[in-house]
Structure 1
Amino acid sequence: MNSRANIDLASASPVRLPMPGAQRDTRLDVLRALALITIFINHVPGQFLERLTTKNFGFSDGAEAFVLISGISVGLAYGTRFKPGNRLSIAWKAVRRAFTLYTAHMITTFITLVLFISGAWIFRHAGLLCEVNILAVLMDPARGIAALLLLGHQIGYNNILPMYGALFLMLPLIMVLEARSPLLLLSVSAGVWLVAGIYQIAPHTMLLDGFWFLNPLSWQFLFVIGFVAVMHVKRGGRISYNPVLFALSLAYVILSFIWVTDKLWVLGDHLAAFGLPTVVTGFDKTFLSLPRLLHVLALAYLIITLPTISRLLRRSADHPLAILGRHSLSIFVAGTILAMAGQVILYVTDKDPAVGGAYVIVGLVAQFAYAYYLEHKRLDGASRRPLSTSVASIPLPVQIEKRR
């Protein structure tokens, strides 16, 4: 996804529409990189660095941040290009992206199988075959492989990309509704989220009784919120500072911090006693319950409206975090494979804390090195590409004053 735009959500200066060759706004890359790092650390459970990630200090974690950022990035990459005469082409690009994500998921899935089966054989730890949801596949390989290919069975810690791919299949409809009315899109999206949560509507799994771990019918709401927000800004709108909304967001983030750190989960049972659906009172990740959704949105609002944080996130294009976030899919695939190898190593070492911490650090260094390699290839390819754009074809800057 190419988020070629320089959009300031917090400042009072005019918003400039993105132009070909415009300087890339690195804030999304940095945030995406931080989400990828968090996901990687959480996917190697049982080591001390896991205690430092956001899931230990609030209701949401790296997955929610990643999906919200993705909605914003997709709005930058596809949103304003979805116009009459170009809609079919953009819709097809979204579908192709979904198949790219499917291919990436298949790569991580089958490498995970190889890692755990090989680990069980080499280290003589048969218990590895009972980890990360692979035993059901091994008990009936013919049916199991078919289920993996049809996304009817997902290996543990390999379930973000299927949900993300489903969101891209929904993207053409999302863009059609947004073109008609952003409010209509938000209303439909919220309705689908609520109905899916109340009635437990989600893609079913084939080998075991249950649902996809991350239900795309629920998670699309967070994706749509990011998409609509950035489209609003690109059309000259603002996400401005409101003291009441800021105070509520800060209070909710603090409440979430106290709730999680003091383990006040029993209070959720008291909320459920009022007869409200679990999607409103619970903390379920599959159906993206309201407390999780509100937490990531509150954090996003605080980040957007605090200029200090915005400036902190704006790094140079060659900053390590910017480079890591720029190659998000490749890094995610590499990080997933490294995390699965790490789980095997921690299993055979009885979750030795020194081994686990050292492995995560080495894994992060490896991902940064891989990102620099990908960036070098990208820049080398760009330098070899012929410069065919004429001066006459370069558009003049278009500037839109924000609505007051």
Structure 2
Amino acid sequence: MNSRAKIEPTTVKQVGLPKPAAPRDTRLDVLRALALLMIFINHVPGQIFEQFTSKNFGFSDGAEAFVLISGISVGLAYGTKFLPGNRLATMLKAVKRAFTLYNAHMITTFVTLVLFISGAWIFHQKGLLCEVNILALLMDPARGIPALLTLGHQIGYNNILPMYGALFLMLPLIMALEAKSPLLLLLISVGVWLVSGIYYIAPHTTLLEGFWFLNPLSWQLLFVIGFIGTMHVKRGGRIPVHPVLIALASAYVLVSFIWVTDKLWILGDYLAMLGLPTVVTGFDKTFLSLPRLLHVLALAYLIISIPSLSQLLRRSANHPLTILGRHSLSIFVAGTILAMAGQVLLYVTNKSPIVGAIYVVIGIAAQFLYAYHLEHKRLQLAGQRAQKAPAERISLPLHIGRHR
């Protein structure tokens, strides 16, 4: 009997090939970029461009937009990975991110100190030492330095990242509750927001009497709303779009616009006469009062619900705003440092409107250049990784029969 090899049909099986990634929603990057630019402009007070940021046309500003967008982004980055078998790793990743934010905050804080102290010395402007909560630190450095390191003392205009980092420390619990019941998470979140606002529960500052400027126990609600909404959509749900809801959101945004532009703040006294807690009727930023919360949510709903608005924000992947928003943390750190340098410059020039306007334009241009630099590095790194990866991961097992 002739011996021959029996070769069965080749079986082709893909092994370890990742699923194609969903296209990145550039609307989030664009909105994040706009929020970062408004925060930068608002952090250089006294120049003309400050009059055109969102805080002048409604109850909320760039900070509320940034936190809501962050909640949505965290839902995309972390929530979809919070699955059995991967939950501990996802929790640890969130905690690690919190420490990254802490390090970024320390960078902006100490650079701010260097800028203001150097400015006071070089330009003989001792008044700079009385700005942005620096004097208390210099008067008692033995208590002040530990207070800085433990976030018990925060330099003015350097208080977003501590709140944001605290939200990431809360994220493991937020994800666990959302996995159990999104409604339960929302109810607990609303309860924490309301109780902390009514009874003024917030992290205390240790060098000066008071609270953190942005209370994470209050701001977590906005973060959680973004997170829950994202998870709802990722699971196949939809955000209801109804003419009545669009009309209500539009009406609220319009009322807010008139209220702020016409400076009708005295109407707040009539709201206070209702006897409701200040967190419900006031406009406090520390405890994220309801009017501010509703304003940013109304704006977000209109963007989601009105196709023309949504499409306006959908830019290409290489659009300048998309690139700026993609590197949000690095740009935020750079923007904060530039804003602090701008404050020193405006102080020594007696808030010259020309100097302020020119500086803001240069500062914005510098942030875009930095974003393009970071994007170039990202693409280079991605290219290097692609070259190292196998051209294809395909297994071709050949089933060969026995010789006869």
Give runs of aligned pairs for residues 28-177 of structure 1, distance below 5 A: 28-177=28-177
1:140 partner letter:
D
1:341 partner letter:
A
Q: CA deviation at 1:162?
A: 0.2
Cα distance in 1 for partners of 2:375, 2:68 equals 24
Structure number with larger C-alpha Rg: 2
Q: C-alpha offsets along residues 178-205 of structure 1, whole Å, 9 cap, x if unaligned?
A: 0011100000000000000000000000
The structure-2 alpha-carbon separation of the partners of 1:159 and 1:20, relative to structure 1 and needing over 3 Å to count, comes to farther
2:400 is matched with none
Cα distance in 2 for partners of 1:123, 1:315 equals 44
Q: C-alpha offsets along residues 104-145 of structure 1, whole Å, 9 cap, x if unaligned?
A: 000000000000000000000000000011111000112101
Cα distance in 1 for partners of 2:338, 2:206 equals 27
Cα distance in 2 for partners of 1:85, 1:35 equals 36
What SS does the corresponding residue of 1:198 show, helix, strand or coil? helix
Q: CA deviation at 1:377?
A: 0.2
Q: Which has the higher contact order (CA 8 A, sep 6+)?
A: 2
1:345 partner letter:
L
Cα distance in 2 for partners of 1:214, 1:128 equals 24
Cα distance in 2 for partners of 1:355, 1:102 equals 32
Cα distance in 1 for partners of 2:44, 2:342 equals 6
Q: CA deviation at 1:312?
A: 1.1
1:387 is matched with 389
Q: CA deviation at 1:390?
A: 4.5
1:23 is matched with 23
2:255 is matched with 255
Cα distance in 1 for partners of 2:392, 2:201 equals 52
Cα distance in 2 for partners of 1:84, 1:22 equals 22
2:271 is matched with 271
What SS does the corresponding residue of 2:318 show, helix, strand or coil? coil
Cα distance in 2 for partners of 1:98, 1:19 equals 29
Cα distance in 1 for partners of 2:393, 2:197 equals 53
Cα distance in 1 for partners of 2:369, 2:257 equals 34
2:184 is matched with 184
2:347 is matched with 347
Q: C-alpha offsets along residues 61-119 of structure 1, whole Å, 9 cap, x if unaligned?
A: 00000000000000000111101111000000000000000000000000000000000
Q: CA deviation at 1:364?
A: 0.3
Aligned residues: 376
2:283 is matched with 283
Q: CA deviation at 1:243?
A: 1.0
Q: C-alpha offsets along residues 384-403 of structure 1, whole Å, 9 cap, x if unaligned?
A: 1122484569xxxxxxxxxx
Q: C-alpha offsets along residues 333-371 of structure 1, whole Å, 9 cap, x if unaligned?
A: 000000000000000000000000000000000000000
What SS does the corresponding residue of 2:251 show, helix, strand or coil? helix
Cα distance in 2 for partners of 1:384, 1:350 equals 50
> TM-score, length-normalised on structure 1?
0.92
Cα distance in 2 for partners of 1:20, 1:335 equals 34
What SS does the corresponding residue of 2:236 show, helix, strand or coil? coil
Cα distance in 2 for partners of 1:274, 1:23 equals 48
Cα distance in 1 for partners of 2:357, 2:101 equals 30
What SS does the corresponding residue of 2:78 show, helix, strand or coil? helix
What SS does the corresponding residue of 1:151 show, helix, strand or coil? coil
What SS does the corresponding residue of 2:120 show, helix, strand or coil? helix
What SS does the corresponding residue of 2:198 show, helix, strand or coil? helix
Cα distance in 1 for partners of 2:360, 2:354 equals 10
The structure-2 alpha-carbon separation of the partners of 1:388 and 1:163, relative to structure 1 and needing over 3 Å to count, comes to farther
Q: C-alpha offsets along residues 38-62 of structure 1, whole Å, 9 cap, x if unaligned?
A: 0000000000000000000000000
Cα distance in 2 for partners of 1:58, 1:100 equals 32
> TM-score, length-normalised on structure 2?
0.92
RMSD of aligned residue pairs (Cα, Å): 1.2
Give runs of aligned pairs for residues 300-315 of structure 1, distance below 5 A: 300-315=300-315
Cα distance in 2 for partners of 1:285, 1:20 equals 41
Q: CA deviation at 1:23?
A: 2.3
Cα distance in 1 for partners of 2:20, 2:338 equals 36
1:367 partner letter:
Q
Cα distance in 2 for partners of 1:262, 1:392 equals 67
Q: CA deviation at 1:241?
A: 1.3
Cα distance in 1 for partners of 2:22, 2:229 equals 21
Identity %: 79
2:239 is matched with 239
Cα distance in 2 for partners of 1:130, 1:190 equals 38
